[in-house]
């Protein structure tokens, strides 16, 4: 894992100074503390901060081809680099390192822009073709590794994190009103938008080229599902056996490293599968790490211990208190570079710190299984809502709601009247590809109540359904409903929040690389062709996944209902009515009015409610965390330079 940054001239004759890329890459030293590397000519400058994982001795970047006509800096891992190198050497290519990075320049020589199609990995790549004066930027298929860019003063600036771009003092730093509206609906901005005006994210599965002053962008991969009904041509056991083989191969590939590799262990199905595969199908010593909480509502330590005992793993955990989460929240926001509506990234940052303290740089993690195999409540909710819509007057059909959310203290399901209203919301959009997501968007979207009048005017007339529709593939309406649900989830919450704010950024805060075996693109392509009932059988989520690993998991893990990872939200910022030191300052009437995003009176009422411990519902919790994180971002990046301290007193 690493950080990359660079500058490319589009027009004009402004020189690219070495000190510019030095300042950009040094802002990313947390991504790559093991060394820095540079390439400069009159047209482009590339910079790299290295976290050495493969080829510790000769893998320094930038890396070049035989005649130094192609150069690259790269953030991530190419898991199939051994096989690619063998094939390239047979074609006559000569290597000077044993790193995974070097296959990139030779693949480009061999296949041109289609080189990305050969890669099995997680990556953000910048490649410079010196002969053609052609810059290529590429990002992995599912959005595991970030890559941001902006065009300013005739130059293209790009980096792994926006704080790197903001090291150049003439680049504007302003929050984007439309992005805030999207974050407070979908949990992340859509498509290529970021929280900052003028700075874009290269979308997952996309490649961008700067050549002869023109920037073009294309998509080389996307999630696809068959049209219409998917018939089962094989037995469920046959599918399960193939799935198990594919999972084992994905884990084996992602264990490749020249340093020790650990694994996260949450106590749920997904991380249990990863750790069980490591134990039963590889020779890698099993070293696991987990988070526990003082609050029993969020704590899964008993389930974690069950698997630790079952597998005999060497295990270490970090216990998170609410006070600790509140104290570390500003540092988490400095790394996310975007507002969030949950505190959940912060414990993940503390967990990666534990991994680093124990001498590890790499961990395998279970993210992606829910999106690929149908694990979220959202998918079950959508199935129930479609079922209810076929007989809306039925009283008994609504009883099925009682089977949802057994892990929630404040579940909406027991209140029948409330549940009926909640799950009937948006029923007029039943045929829309984003229908499944409306309850979540509606709950999150209530944060908009706190926008100031000026902010509401700046956002203007905005329809979340129309906005998401504009980003969807043309043929999505012909996919089965669950395929539609999965596509929207993968391109909003997963790519924009889980893999970014909660994944990459929280690992890289402590120079830890997370790897995601469930997001191997060949595994996704296999799963997308499965009959939907093999993902959710009745209301049994991830049915085929459980079946594929049935003999390698304890009964408690196999039978346990999915419990999403959560952390204390508003309660993390108050203790006995006293706020964390920075909270009262940021949310004071003067600060809120000066920033201009929110209505000071509305924020004051919410803060008073939170101080008294009366914020218990999802909506108010998300509103408080969203307002506070926006104000933190404003202070850290807009008011002050992005080199501001990571914690606030």
As annotated, the active-site residues are 2
Which residues lie below 8 Å from residue 127, measured CB to CB, with a gap of 6+?
Answer: 70, 71, 72, 104, 105, 108, 135, 136, 137, 138
The alpha helices in 369-476, defined as continuous H runs, are: 369-373, 377-389, 416-424, 438-445, 453-459, 464-469
DSSP letter for 113, please: G
Q: Which residues of 269-302 are buried (b: 16+ CB within 10 A; e: fewer)?
A: bbbbbbbbbbbebeebebbbbbbbbeeeebbbbe
Residues in the chain: 649
Closest CA to 163 of 196, 138, 190: 196
Distance CA 9, CA 213 (A): 8
Radius of gyration of the chain (CA): 24
- Bond from prior residue into 410 cis (ω within 30 degrees of 0): no
CA distances from 177 to 126, 166, 217, 454, 530 (A): 30, 19, 25, 10, 40
Environment class of residue 47 by beta-carbon count within 10 Å: exposed (0-12), middle (13-18) or buried (19+)?
A: buried
Distance CA 28, CA 162 (A): 10
Distance CA 303, CA 546 (A): 16
CA distances from 448 to 177, 340, 617 (A): 11, 14, 16
Place of tokens 């600060």: 591
The upper half-sphere exposure of residue 42, i.e. CA atoms within 13 Å in the direction of its Cβ, equals 5
């Amino acid at each position: 894992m690493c950080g990359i940054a660079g500058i490319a001239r589009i027009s004009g004759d402004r020189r690219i100074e070495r000190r510019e890329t030095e300042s950009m890459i040094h802002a990313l030293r947390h991504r790559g503390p093991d060394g820095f590397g540079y390439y400069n000519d009159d047209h482009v400058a590339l910079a790299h901060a290295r976290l050495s994982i493969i080829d510790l001795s000769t893998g320094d970047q930038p890396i070049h081809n035989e005649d130094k006509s192609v150069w690259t800096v790269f953030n991530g891992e190419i898991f199939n680099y051994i096989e690619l190198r063998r094939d390239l050497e047979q074609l006559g290519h000569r290597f000077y390192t044993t790193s995974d990075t070097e296959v990139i320049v030779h693949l480009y020589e061999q296949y041109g822009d289609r080189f990305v199609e050969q890669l099995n990995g997680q990556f953000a790549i910048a490649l410079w073709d010196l002969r053609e004066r052609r810059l290529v930027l590429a990002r992995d298929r599912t959005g595991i590794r970030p890559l941001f860019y902006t065009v300013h003063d005739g130059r293209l600036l790009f980096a792994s994190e926006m704080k790197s771009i903001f090291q150049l003092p003439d680049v504007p730093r302003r929050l984007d009103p439309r992005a805030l509206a999207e974050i407070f609906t979908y949990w992340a901005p859509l498509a290529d938008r970021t929280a900052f005006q003028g700075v874009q994210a290269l979308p997952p599965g996309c490649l961008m080229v700067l050549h002869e002053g023109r920037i073009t962008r294309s998509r080389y991969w996307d999630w696809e599902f068959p049209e219409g009904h998917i018939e089962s041509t094989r037995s469920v056991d046959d599918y399960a056996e193939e799935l198990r083989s594919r999972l084992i191969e994905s884990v084996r590939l992602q264990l490749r490293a020249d340093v020790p590799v650990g694994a996260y262990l949450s106590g749920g199905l997904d991380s249990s599968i990863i750790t069980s595969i490591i134990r039963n199908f590889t020779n890698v010593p099993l070293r696991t790490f987990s988070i526990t909480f003082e609050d029993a509502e969020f704590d899964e330590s008993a389930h974690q211990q069950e698997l630790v005992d079952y597998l005999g793993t060497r295990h270490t955990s970090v216990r998170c208190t609410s006070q600790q989460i509140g104290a570390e929240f500003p540092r988490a926001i400095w790394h996310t570079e975007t507002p969030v509506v949950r505190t959940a990234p912060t414990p993940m940052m503390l967990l990666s710190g534990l991994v680093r303290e124990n001498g590890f740089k790499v961990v395998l993690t279970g993210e992606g299984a829910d999106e690929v195999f149908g694990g979220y409540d959202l998918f079950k909710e959508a199935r129930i809502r479609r079922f209810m819509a076929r007989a809306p007057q039925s009283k008994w059909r609504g009883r099925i709601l009682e089977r949802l959310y057994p892990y929630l203290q404040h579940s909406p399901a027991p209140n029948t009247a409330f549940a009926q209203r909640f799950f009937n919301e948006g029923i007029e959009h039943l045929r829309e590809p984003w229908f499944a997501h409306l309850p979540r968007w509606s709950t999150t979207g209530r944060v908009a109540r706190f926008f100031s009048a000026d902010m509401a005017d700046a956002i203007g007339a905005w329809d979340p359904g129309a906005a998401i529709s504009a980003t969807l593939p043309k043929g999505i309406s012909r996919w089965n409903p669950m395929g539609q649900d999965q596509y929207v989830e993968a391109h909003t919450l997963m790519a924009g929040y889980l893999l970014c704010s909660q994944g990459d950024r929280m690992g890289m805060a402590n120079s830890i690389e997370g790897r995601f075996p469930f997001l191997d693109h060949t595994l996704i392509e296999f799963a997308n062709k499965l009959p939907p009932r093999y993902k959710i059988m009745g209301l049994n989520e991830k049915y085929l996944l459980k079946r594929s690993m049935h003999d390698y998991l304890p009964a408690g893990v196999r039978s346990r209902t999915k419990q999403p990872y959560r952390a204390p939200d508003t309660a993390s910022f108050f203790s006995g009515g006293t706020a964390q030191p920075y909270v009262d300052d940021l949310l004071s009437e003067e600060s809120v009015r000066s920033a201009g995003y929110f209505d000071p009176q509305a924020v004051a009422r919410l803060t008073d409610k939170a101080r008294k411990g009366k914020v218990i519902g999802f909506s108010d919790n998300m509103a408080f965390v969203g307002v506070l994180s926006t104000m933190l971002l404003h202070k850290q990046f807009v008011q002050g330079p992005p080199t501001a301290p990571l914690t606030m007193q």
